[in-house]
Amino acid sequence: MIRRPKPGESEEDLLRLQEEFLAREVASSANVVKKGDKRKNVAGTAQQNRVEKDVVQLPGADPSSGLPMGATSDPPKKKSKFRSSRPAAGDYGVRGQRIEIDLDRDEDPEVAMERHDTHITSVLSKIMEHDTSNAAVHLPRGTTQGFPTALHRGHTTGAQNGKPHKKRSLFAQQFESSTSNQFGVSTEPQSEQPIRAPVSSSIQPHSTHPMRVSDLPMASSSVEENMEMGESIAAESSPQEPHVISGAGLLQGSLDPERARKDIQQIHQENLGRLSAMSEEEILQEQQKLRQMLDPNLLKFLQSKGTSKPTQKPTSSSTPTSKPQADSENDSMDTESSAPMATEPIPEEKMTQETSKQRVHFDDNAGGGVDDGKEEQEPEEQEPEEPPIEVKKEWVNMNKVESDKISWLKDMPKPSAKAKEGYQARFDFNGMLVARDADIPVREGLHHHGEEQEVPGYSLEELFTLSRSSVVQQRVLALQTLARVLYNCRISDIGGELMEPLVPKLLEAGVLFLFRWSLDDVNEGVITACIEGLAALLIQPGDESTSDRVFSWYQGSETTPMRPVVEDEEDESGQKIEDKEKSDPQLASQDVIKALLRMSVLERLRYILEVVRPPAPVVLNALAILIRIARHSQEATHEIMKCPRLMQTVFAEFLPLASWKSQGDVVSEAYNYPLIPALKLARVICQNGRHFAATLLAKYNLMSVVVRYASMEPVDMPMNIGEAFQLSTEAFRVWQVCVSYGLACDTYRDLYPLLMQQLQVFQRLSILPLDSTHDASAKAANRLQMTRACTVLSMLEGVIHVAGSAVILQQKQTMRSDEQSQQHPRAPPPPIDWSHVSGLMSPLELCAKRWLGEMTNCSDVLEAEALSLVGSSLNFLASVYENWTRQPSYSPVDCLQHIEELVTRLLVPFMTSTSFYSVVCNLKSHSSVSHDGNSSLPIISALPDFSCHPEDQSLVYPCVKQTSSYGFAAGLLRLVTTLLKIHKGMAAKFCPIIESTYVTEYLKAVCKHPHQSSASQLVGSWARYEHHVLYYLVKLYYHVAQQSESCHQYSILYHSTALVLLTSLQSGQEHYVHDLLSTVLFHTDFLAEGRIGDPIASDLADMLTMNGKEETAPSTNSSHQGPTRGELLQDAYDHLGSIRHLYMVYFGAAAQALTRSRARSLHQPHDIDTLSLPEFTGPLVPMDWIFLPLLHLYVEAQKAEMLGKTVKSFPPHILASITDTLRWVFMLETWRPKCLQMVPQAAKVARLYCIFLTGNDLFMEDAVSGFLWPILRIYTQPEYLKALDFNVPVPGVASFHDLYMSILTQYEAVSFGNRLFAHFILLPIQQQFNPSLRKAVWFDRVGVLRSLGLPLRECAIPLTNFLEPKETNPELVEIYLGCVASGSVRPSWSPVMYLVAVSHLSKFLFTRDNLDQVEAVRLKLKMIRQVLALKDKVLQQQILQYQGLDLTQPLGFNLYPQLPLERLEILQAAEQR
């Protein structure tokens, strides 16, 4: 019995078994027999299918044909010689039968098989080209006419030569009746001898391809070499037969061959004579002409052919042979020949040894030349390379080694060196960058593709190409690799550095469309890879985990839409371009989610989930994609809700109400199994709007699902314990969102016993870290339990708000008349009231006391889940006390006693402990001041995200890191503020917290580096959690300052914090803005300077400053005799009420947004329509908000002027609003200058220009000018002037140059030389700013110079700012000279401008620079001659003898007593020229 191979045997064992089997000569157990085709009449079946017929033989018919003669008109089919030579089918037997071949004893089986094989390869291998070397070439007869004679139609004679007449065309009849002589063709007999080319030494007689240019003897670089070449040619060929010009064309077309040969010989002799008469230089010139005339590609081709291997030369040219011998090099040129020549064949056995031969070829370096005549060596035959593997003789069918087929097994060569500018990025199958010289085995599959087969990895271009392959496995591999590349790029873990962000480049290349098109594939593997790729592209991995972690923080359920900010585009007519008018690539470049929705991705996902039913990973990725789409906007959520059967499939398949089969740690079957992402999708949809939540509750029975998972203990669920806790937690989050709208509150009454039981369990829960005796699984379960408890408390807090609002709704309902109720129906009161929730306060207060007490005595670092749990309990207590005071059962005595006990025994001890100081230090280390507002992860403008890393917390926004304590701090400060609002007597107990060094240091850091969120990055929206903490800290000071005078010393710090907070608040926090303006910013407790004598101290300081600088500085007070700075500050302090009213009215314009924000901040469930915040566009209040009333007034005045109305005067309330704005600006610039440092100084000046541009005499009003003068003095201080910069773009101003031109026009029209206005004109023309601003005054608006009569000693701007550095613009200096020479600028009219002109003219003319060019020197000499030619000798003397600035002089400068020697030499040089 034959033994079969066993596992573990080597290749030698298999070969040995094969030899044993062959040695036994045992017949095979199975034979393959191929049956014949029944449809074909082959042997074996032809006899069965044959039908006998009676045939009548007619006389004259072929008896073998079987048909009578003439029965068919079809001609017999022709058979090719190849077909005739093939053996009949019967020779091989019936199809499918075994063919037996008799072998001779010594005959090779392979040879025999090849002899009998009729395969197509055998046929093709025997194709031989027909030998035409000896075939005669018959040329057409010659003609004596250039064009055939046109015959007249009447020459037709009809049928000719006795042929039967047929109906033919007139032309055919005429042509048939015509003779050849009528067309000029001779009828003389032509020789049948074929034309053969004459044999010469330069054309090989055995060559069958046409003569090449490289074979022609051309001019050489040496005449001697050319003569030697001619001698050798003459020796080898007859002088009667030229070797260059054969004359074949003349012989073929000539009627007189003898004359043609004479002409050929004459041309040959003329050519030889001309070549011999030419010098070497002339030959080179002619060669260069040929080089210029020929096409470069053709020249390159001729050069390559000219250096080819020479052909062999026969010893005899007269011996015929039966087989031509052609040069292998010339075979490829046969088809390119235009006139091939027949040559005499030479027998192969008489070919002699190869001789040397000269070739003339074009040389790129020398301009042409002749080879040196040395014998060209035949290339040595290369030895066959050894195969990359050792081929054993025992291997079957490996007798003949084919090296080209196993060459891929060779070792790959080393990659080329890396370029300086980098190289193309390549990735492995895990999506990681692969180094170009990485030592990766070939078996990994990263080699042998593309242009650089030795370089490992796949480039993006290759992956895109592979994704369109017809092989499914290749498409899946490419899509999976792209998905992993995208995921690694999202988390910035790609294994290297790229020169440009990769994800935007992939989007630009069309990866989105690639995934979407591939998603329509029917193959499940392709669908899986596409879903994975879309999830990697759309989702930032750490965003969802961070959002879940902060969900239980104060207002953590509010979500920011992940929608890109797209500016409206307009067409040529100015109409807005709608999204439906944009193409898919245009829309994808702006908003990826919108593009996917247009491409019906929801319908495809529904089909995959409902019909395809993919495995669990695909389902999880699909649900994650749906969550990302829902987070985009309310419009995207609406598309999800209206997609047919999508949500129905999600609820039916992934949120089962019945029991489900338990699975392991990894979910293998997603259907009929509760999936956490499915429940999270329902929660995100509910967050986007009340109506979405109501739809899910009514149509899909959402609360049944929530109750199913929330009412069961996680340990009792048939699933992994971690997933069980997460599923229960997610169910309570969905319930919390519904309760936020006042929905699903009746379920609270049904589950009240269960919830009370949970609170009792929470009372035994400790927040302290577990000791080392507990393993990792126990610690993880403890964290999950605290997270679930935190979510339960947040849900119960929402129930408190609903129950507390029942009284308010009932009161509003009773106050409304029946008619109003019908016109504007209100929401009915909720199904629960305060009596249903009053029992929750006691157990939750016990929990808060225990947990806060543990924190007070704990020195260890608490986990993030513990801090969130304590913060949720404090938020719950704050909500209870907020709503308790509005209830009819409210008892002030009981409430105040509770508050006193809570403050005395719990809050104050904790807030004076080291634990609280640790919390405050944590706030400082996690503040947004340490963040620059830019994300460390890649930013995609068309696909914004929150830029959270799933593991590396250093890449997460600071205030939402896992170690952040902002959630706990917000709950603690909110509770304290709420209690102090009810019991003001407890405020003094928190004075130590207000004065704490830790708190003040944190606030100083916030004020020192005010944070401005970038409108283009969604990551800045996380800062709202720090805003909650800052807001309640400011409110805490507000309550404490009213009861304690000692904390007023920190009023500047807390007021500065409020100002910084105001300019940091985001859209959706309008309530905070309104509350800060109404209660904090203009409150006297925050501006304590007005009550401690600061105005009087300011006057005293000004008097001391004036006395100290009286002799050294120009007076700035003589120009304006008005109230002192202290009096103005006191006046502004007294008008804080009107100032507050002004800004409250201005910011109260957005009433609708304020109402929605107030409803969310005050927790009014009946007024909350959505938990989705407005689109994130950066800070809500601009940095220059103090100037907004001025801008608003200017815009309204411009609108009135555009309507043809003239603004002559302003009503008192408008004048009062402008004055109040200037009061507030002056007050903040004096008392809070650091808070306005973030506003550019140039922007402040531009805002004040609005006063001068509004109306004709508004700036002349005493109240307005009274505050403009002190503001001007502040802005002209050295530190402010140093910060002033008009060379950079001014925020909010499209073109400052245009604005300045408007100011100059207004000054020239209405100023009347007003000195206040003149100062604002002089600010932008200081020497350090753009010369175009100075040209605007000196050239464009010269009339301004006439009225710019500001005295030198009254100029508040240092005059050196106009004189230094010296003017280097020659054009501007010429303008200065023209103005002073023409009298446009005079010292009596504009002393400042006159000083500027004289100073710069003198410095320009007499200052020698090392870099002076010739043109500059000529210009200086020209201007000096112009100065010498001035008629005004005083002006001439001032320019020539100007020495420097001296304010003691009447003109502000002094002169040299006599002209310096250096200047005298320059003047003499100018006169000589």
Cβ(1271)–Cβ(1248) below 8 Å: yes
**Dist CA 1205 CA 1447 (whole Å):** 47
Torsion region of 607: left, alpha or beta (phi above 0 gives left; psi -120 to 50 gives alpha): alpha
pLDDT value of position 320:
39
The secondary structure element, H or E, covering residue 1455 is strand 1453-1455
* Bigger pLDDT: 90 vs 904: 904
Q: Kindly tell me the sign of the dihedral angle through the C-alpha atoms of 1393, 1397, 1400, 1402.
A: negative
Cβ(432)–Cβ(494) below 8 Å: yes
Q: In sequence order, which ranges of 1241-1322 are alpha helices (DSSP H)? A: 1241-1253, 1262-1275, 1278-1283, 1296-1310, 1315-1322
Question: Is pLDDT of 1025 > 90?
Answer: yes
pLDDT value of position 1466:
86
287-296, 939-948, 1041-1050, 1090-1099: lowest mean pLDDT where? 1090-1099
C-alpha to C-alpha distances, 253 to 144, 191, 684, 754, 1212, nearest whole angstrom:
11, 13, 93, 116, 113
Helix axes 1188-1202, 1136-1147, angle to 10 degrees: 60
- CB neighbours (10 Å) of residue 297? 8
Enumerate residues 6+ apart whose C-beta is below 8 A from 156: 170, 173, 174, 177
* Bigger pLDDT: 1018 vs 386: 1018
Q: Which residues of 362-384 are buried (b: 16+ CB within 10 A; e: fewer)?
A: bbeeeebbbbeeeeeeeeeeeee
pLDDT value of position 235:
40
**Dist CA 730 CA 713 (whole Å):** 13
In this prediction, residues 1201-1211 reach a mean pLDDT of: 78
In this prediction, residues 1297-1301 reach a mean pLDDT of: 95
Cβ(628)–Cβ(562) below 8 Å: yes
- Amino acid occupying residue 1077: L
50-64, 145-159, 681-695, 823-837: lowest mean pLDDT where? 50-64
* Bigger pLDDT: 544 vs 98: 544
Q: Kindly tell me the sign of the dihedral angle through the C-alpha atoms of 397, 398, 399, 403.
A: positive
* Bigger pLDDT: 1161 vs 32: 1161
pLDDT value of position 1118:
43
Question: Is pLDDT of 1472 > 60?
Answer: yes
HSE-CB at 1152 with a 13 A cutoff on CA atoms is 2
| Mean residue pLDDT across the chain | 80
Q: Percent of the chain scored above 90 by pLDDT?
A: 51
Residue 1181 per-residue DSSP state: S
Question: Is pLDDT of 66 > 60?
Answer: no
pLDDT digits (tens, 9 = 90+) for 1350-1373: 999 999 999 999 999 999 899 999
pLDDT digits (tens, 9 = 90+) for 1408-1428: 765 567 888 888 888 999 999
pLDDT value of position 581:
85
CA proximity to 489, closest of 499, 502, 480:
502
Beta strands in 350-491 (DSSP E): 360-361, 369-370
pLDDT value of position 1470:
81
Residue 217: asked if its preceding bond is cis (omega within 30°), the reply is: no
Question: Is pLDDT of 1308 > 60?
Answer: yes
CA proximity to 526, closest of 468, 457, 485:
468
**Dist CA 1055 CA 1081 (whole Å):** 7
**Dist CA 243 CA 692 (whole Å):** 97
Q: What is the dihedral of CA 1283, 1289, 1295, 1297, to 10 degrees?
A: 40
5-9, 84-88, 91-95, 1240-1244: lowest mean pLDDT where? 91-95
CA proximity to 919, closest of 998, 847, 992, 995:
998
HSE-CB at 1302 with a 13 A cutoff on CA atoms is 14
pLDDT value of position 148:
64
pLDDT value of position 1059:
95
pLDDT digits (tens, 9 = 90+) for 17-63: 888 888 877 776 666 666 555 554 444 444 444 444 444 444 444 44
Question: Is pLDDT of 361 > 60?
Answer: no
**Dist CA 841 CA 739 (whole Å):** 18
* Bigger pLDDT: 1315 vs 326: 1315
Q: Kindly tell me the sign of the dihedral angle through the C-alpha atoms of 92, 98, 103, 109.
A: positive
Question: Is pLDDT of 522 > 70?
Answer: yes
**Dist CA 425 CA 503 (whole Å):** 13
Enumerate residues 6+ apart whose C-beta is below 8 A from 553: 868, 871, 966, 967, 970, 971, 1025
Question: Is pLDDT of 1119 > 70?
Answer: no
Q: What angle do CA 1375, 1377, 1381 make, to 5 degrees?
A: 120
Q: φ and ψ at 1445, to 5 degrees? A: -75, 135
Looking up tokens 């225990």 gives 850
* Bigger pLDDT: 333 vs 247: 247
Q: Please provide the DSSP assignment of 489-548 as one string.
A: HHTT-SSS--SS-HHHHHHHHTHHHHHHHHHT-S-HHHHHHHHHHHHHHH--TTHHHHHH
Question: Is pLDDT of 1326 > 80?
Answer: yes
In this prediction, residues 231-246 reach a mean pLDDT of: 46
138-142, 280-284, 681-685: lowest mean pLDDT where? 138-142
**Three-class SS string for 548-563?**
HHCCCCCCCCCECCCC
CA proximity to 484, closest of 454, 460, 455, 520:
460
HSE-CB at 258 with a 13 A cutoff on CA atoms is 0
633-637, 1110-1114, 1210-1214, 1266-1270: lowest mean pLDDT where? 1110-1114
Question: Is pLDDT of 346 > 50?
Answer: no
CA proximity to 1185, closest of 1238, 1231, 1110:
1238
Burial of 5 (0-12, 13-18, 19+ CB in 10 A): exposed
Structure confidence at residue 129 as a pLDDT band (50, 70, 90) = low
Cβ(1053)–Cβ(1004) below 8 Å: yes
* Bigger pLDDT: 159 vs 1127: 1127
CA proximity to 1472, closest of 1437, 1436, 1403, 1425:
1425
In this prediction, residues 297-312 reach a mean pLDDT of: 58
Cβ(200)–Cβ(241) below 8 Å: yes
Beta strands in 392-435 (DSSP E): none
